[in-house]
Structure 1
């Protein structure tokens, strides 16, 4: 079955051994079925491997095989590349050679101890561009697309070919226009004016196409209100590095770090019972979450500061910190005096015993007025507009919809690349780059979002975007009440 993992794609033996395989952070105490790979390249010279492999198709990641393309072959001393049709031998610098050997030894060790696979000493690496997926060229041909960054694999656990090819990754020539775009096919128009508007094919020939598209007579192009709101949002929220914030508030960096994270204080009960009912209170502002790799939208972010990752704070965050210090100076001073203490404090660390609990409760009550528990937590790499900015976008979108005048227009003599079929979205649009405030249209013919729905990007994460659509529909969300 295409893509199904199989050990049989490489020659190997298997044996029960006391091997100490470490899967869950501790070595196994019992016997493990250990696989030993038969190295088919053991007697080959590196230059011969390079002549055979560089520029060729290969399968890596055994036994979960992925297709790739060999860019180069390397050993401890040289890298072999294909230049102008010839294999060139490029010597390593000493530090590269040492790094190569460390990486090779680690690769062998990881396979042995983590995966229970003895691959033998790694003497040759294949430098591979792994298959990313398929992309459609402007002429309509479907071709393989590879990641740009090389990955290194020990040559003995690579596979030349597979018996069952995966039909999803077969390259195909362009189909004739009339076959690819029959009459009345639903499309999206990609011309200069009215870019992204939906329509249908009205005529087709061997050379070109014509479509009837649904347009807005009042606007040749999409309005820029989303980008304008995003720019205003960026200008509104300025960030300062932690050392500057600490200096401005006249507190230490460690105190700032504790105040902006979780800060637990134990209030001891005054009960006369033997068993204590101590209460644990979080008096931190919870503006940053190092372990979870999260920040609070509009208050904190992580950025490069002098070549190191450091926290930065917005003016809103600084104002809350300043108010905290002004209202509870004894508590802040207590933190300053107890830098050597562990993360959990008691109320008596800051106040006399007779008033400690009431003072801590006063801080807790103040934090409720600040509503720190309602702060919006997002991944560190995320870019998102806040609630206020999104409300501005919604108002602008409503105004835009009121002024729309829907009409139909025919566009003639169109080339293939000026149209987008919904079924081609995954092979044509996979490399798009988005910015906050961009106007977008949903072009896929499946999913919860109605096809041809327009909206504005209000959030960007690694592999996802948040969109506020112009019109409501079943299956949408409120984006965490933003």
Structure 2
């Protein structure tokens, strides 16, 4: 029967298949019982801990009233326009004119924009930009919806009055084209029970890794005692 000392002679090159330092190469210093003392070459790694610690400040979410106050719309319109709103023109054609950031029946929001917590919808700072952009590009739409949506069913909205023109189809095409150009369009749905990392945090991690790669890669020697079954010897 081959002994550990014979399997792992002094100065033999091995690879760690345990943790920590998984995948690191090292050299055998000595063996004792079922263990071996190995000096591993451990490369430097980017410090992601500090980013993960402040992920809550990187991706801050706010209640609807705060976003409504910052954008000059009512809480009701904020709630409606960030969800699904449909217009019909002509009567048989259906147009989506909402931002589609909330899916209440699915209890899901859109990553980086909305999330549901404790039965309340929360909105990121990015939603403020979307609402302000909507107001700048199509102020007549938000004004009309503010005045009528709570009193009138979607299928009864007067789109000629909303746009102030009979060129309704052209205006709807312009609006839907703009909506599809937004960064939120077709975004990833996130269920309220999901524990995900927000896109802004992912971007911060990506930047940290890029900065790390620009620096000269260094490694340090770490000597530890390892169970022999967690070592791979290519010889």
TM-score normalised by the chain length of structure 2: 0.70
State the partner residue of 1:188. Answer: 18
C-alpha change, 1:189 and 1:239, in structure 2 (3 Å) is closer
Q: Counterparts of 1:257-336 in structure 2 under 5 Å?
A: 257-268=79-90, 278-304=92-118, 309-336=119-146
2:162 matches 1:350: yes
Tell me the distance in 1 between the aligned counterparts of 2:99 and 2:156.
Answer: 16
Equivalent in 190, 203, 223 of residue 388 of structure 1: 203
Q: Establish whether residue 376 from structure 1 lines up as the match of residue 188 from structure 2.
A: yes
Unaligned runs of 5+ in 1: 1-177, 270-277, 423-482
Superposition RMSD on alpha carbons, in Å? 3.7
For 1:131, the equivalent position in structure 2 comes to none
Distance 1:188 1:395, change over 3 A: same
Tell me the equivalent position of 2:40: 214
Q: Distance in 2 between matches of 1:294 and 1:370?
A: 19
**Where in structure 2 are the equivalents of 1:44-55 lying within 5 Å?**
none
* TM-superposed deviation, 1:383: 2.0
Q: Secondary structure at the match of 2:166?
A: helix
Query: What are the equivalent positions in structure 2 for 1:145-184 lying under 5 Å apart?
Result: 183=7
Q: Residue 244 of structure 1: CA displacement? A: 2.1
| Corresponding residue SS for 1:258 | helix
CA contact (8 A) 1:189 1:213 kept: no
Contact 1:262 1:284 in 2 (8 A): yes
In structure 2, the CA distance between the partners of 1:315 and 1:357, relative to structure 1 (3 Å rule), is same
Aligned to 1:363: 175
Displacement of 1:287 after TM fit?
1.6
1:189 and 1:362 map into 2 onto residues whose CA distance is 56
Q: Name the residue aligned to 1:203.
A: 31
- Preserved CA contact (<8 Å) 1:230 1:389: no
Give the number of the structure whose alpha-carbon radius of gyration is greater: 1
Q: Which digits, 9 at most, give the CA deviation of each residue in 1:426-459, with x for residues without a partner? A: xxxxxxxxxxxxxxxxxxxxxxxxxxxxxxxxxx
In 1: Cα distance, 2:67 partner to 2:223 partner: 59
**Once the 2 structures are TM-superposed, how far is the Cα of residue 420 of structure 1 from its aligned partner?**
8.3
Contact 1:199 1:212 in 2 (8 A): no
Check the 8 A contact 2:61/2:122 in 1, yes or no.
yes
- The answer to whether residue 160 in structure 2 is matched with residue 338 in structure 1 is no
- Larger RCO, structure (CA 8 Å, separation 6 or more): 2
**3-state DSSP class of the match of 1:383?**
coil
Per-residue displacement from partner, 1:303-342 (whole Å, max 9, x unpaired)? Answer: 34xxxx2111122211210221233232112222221444
Which residue matches 1:448?
Answer: none
Q: 2:31, 2:156 → 1: CA distance?
A: 76
Give the structure with the higher percent strand: 1
Does the 8 A contact of 2:115 with 2:190 survive in 1? no
Task: From the superposition, tell whether residues 249 and 215 of structure 1 become closer, same or farther in structure 2 (CA, over 3 Å).
Answer: same
Equivalent residue, structure 1, for 2:11: none
Take 2:52 and 2:211, find their aligned partners in 1: how far apart are those partners?
13
CA distance in 1, matches of 2:51, 2:129: 24
Alignment of 1:392-431 (within 5 A): 392-399=207-214, 402-405=216-219, 410-412=223-225, 421=230
CA distance in 2, matches of 1:212, 1:327: 65
Unaligned runs of 5+ in 2: 9-13
- Change beyond 3 A, Cα 1:242–1:385: closer
Describe the superposition over 1:251-293 as per-residue Cα deviations: whole angstroms up to 9, x where unpaired.
3323112211122212218xxxxxxxx4322111122222223
Deviation at 1:351? 3.6
| C-alpha contact (below 8 Å) 2:84/2:99 kept by paired residues | yes
- How many residue pairs get aligned? The number is 216
